Amino acid sequence: MKKLWPLILCVMMLCGCSHIKSGQYVKLVKDNDLLKLSDAYDVPVWIIESANPGKQFLKGEWVFVPTTTGLMGGYDQWGLAESPTYHIKKGEFIWPVPAGKKVSSPFGKRRGSPHDGIDIPAKKGSHILASQGGLVVYAGAELGGYGNIAVISHKNGFFTVYAHAKKLYVKKGDKVHQGSVIAQVGSTGRSTGPHLHFEIRYNSKALNPLSYVETP
């Protein structure tokens, strides 16, 4: 299955999502260093190119790297970036499926491939809650194997992802509160049974949800 975050970025760009205007500026230290830049920020090369019309991508140029993080006006010199700091305490996100009490597939490597979230099995139709309040930046089923999926943008560059839903109650642009019912547990997309695939991301980086959510 393809990586989720580049797919979300592509769909949001094609749909004209205003959040794609956020991102940060990066100073190139080599000519035509877009492939490394793409890998470092997990953003497709064509998106970087489309966000910088007229640029030649030469050493010393400042290039705008679009993200969905709200990091307007950030500056970074490629090759000298510092590791991100996650300004959030465990417990600020809530468990998203009250009816699901366990994790069937943890964060990390799974069958040799990265699993960027956790899977929470529950009865089909069980409520899925917004783990934290924020703005719905994507809601739909255009991402293939992930079925019905919602993405919520939170404060300080955090996002949560809710995949394989039976039904979505939210649409792009909706503001939700922590604990709002946003969907039903399902098995849409590439799924072997009813569950929620749940991710927490800081910018585009996937984090282990169990480090930020109090388990039931």
* pLDDT bucket at 210, cuts 50 / 70 / 90: very high
* pLDDT bucket at 60, cuts 50 / 70 / 90: confident
Residues 6+ away with beta carbon under 8 Å from 149: 138, 139, 140, 141, 143, 161, 162, 163, 164, 165, 189
Please report the domains of the chain, with CATH numbers, ordered by start residue. Answer: 4-77 (no CATH), 108-211 (2.70.70.10)
- Report d(CA 168, CA 164) in Å as an integer: 10
- Report d(CA 126, CA 99) in Å as an integer: 6
Position 42 pLDDT exceeds 90: no
Q: What does the pLDDT read at residue 83?
A: 33
Q: Which of 70, 78, 68, 71 is nearest to 26 (CA)?
A: 78
- Report d(CA 92, CA 99) in Å as an integer: 20
- Predicted TM-score (pTM) of this structure: 0.66
Q: What does the pLDDT read at residue 80?
A: 30
In percent, the amount of the chain with pLDDT more than 90 equals: 38
Residue range 55-75: mean pLDDT, rounded? 62
Looking at per-residue confidence, does 119 or 109 come out higher? 119
**Mean pLDDT of the chain, nearest integer:** 78
Structure-token pair, residue 106 = 């943890």
Position 142 pLDDT exceeds 90: no
Q: What does the pLDDT read at residue 128?
A: 95
Helix, strand or coil, per DSSP, at residue 16:
coil
pLDDT tens digits, one per residue of 151-193:
998 877 788 999 999 999 999 889 999 999 999 999 999 999 9
Q: What does the pLDDT read at residue 12?
A: 52
Q: What does the pLDDT read at residue 86?
A: 47
Q: What does the pLDDT read at residue 208?
A: 93
Structure-token pair, residue 119 = 């899977």
- Report d(CA 202, CA 7) in Å as an integer: 17
